[in-house]
Amino acid sequence: MSAVVPVRYAFLEGPTPIAMAHRGGAIEHLENTMPAFEACVALGYRYLETDVRVTADGVPVVFHDPTLDRVTDRTGRVDQLPWSELAGARIGGREPILRLEELLGAWPDVRFNLDVKAAGVLAPLARTVHRLGVADRICLGSFSDARVAAARRIFGPAVCTSLGPRGVAALRLSSYSPRAAGLVRIPAGCAQVPLQLGGRALVDERFVAAAHARGLQVHVWTVNTEAEVTAMLDLGVDGVMTDRPAMLREVLEHRGQWVPR
Query: Which pLDDT value is given to residue 259?
Result: 85
Is 64 annotated in the active site? yes
Residues of the chain with CATH 3.20.20.190: 48-156, 162-254
> Do the Cβ atoms of 24 and 32 come closer than 8 Å?
yes
Query: Which pLDDT value is given to residue 1?
Result: 39
Query: Which pLDDT value is given to residue 6?
Result: 58
Query: Which pLDDT value is given to residue 3?
Result: 44
State the distance between the two ends of the chain, measured CA to CA, in whole angstroms. 37
> Do the Cβ atoms of 245 and 28 come closer than 8 Å?
yes
Contacts of 201 (CB under 8 A, 6+ apart): 195
Query: Which pLDDT value is given to residue 187?
Result: 79
Query: What amino acid is encoded at 100 in this protein?
Result: L
Of the candidate CATH numbers 3.90.245.10, 3.20.20.190, 3.10.620.30, 3.90.400.10, the domain formed by 162-254 belongs to 3.20.20.190
Cis peptide before 124 (omega within 30 of 0): no
Q: How far apart are CA 193 and CA 226, in angstroms?
A: 18
Among residues 22, 29, 212, 219, which one is catalytic?
22
Crossing angle (nearest 10°) for helices 226-235 and 245-254: 50
Is 219 annotated in the active site? no
- Residue 45 CA to its chain's centroid (Å): 14
Cα-trace Rg, the chain: 18
pLDDT along the chain (261 residues), means of 10: 63 97 99 99 98 99 99 99 99 99 98 98 98 98 97 96 95 81 72 93 96 96 99 99 99 94 66
Specify the fold of 48-156: TIM Barrel (3.20.20)
Among residues 29, 64, 212, 219, which one is catalytic?
64
Residue 67 DSSP symbol: B
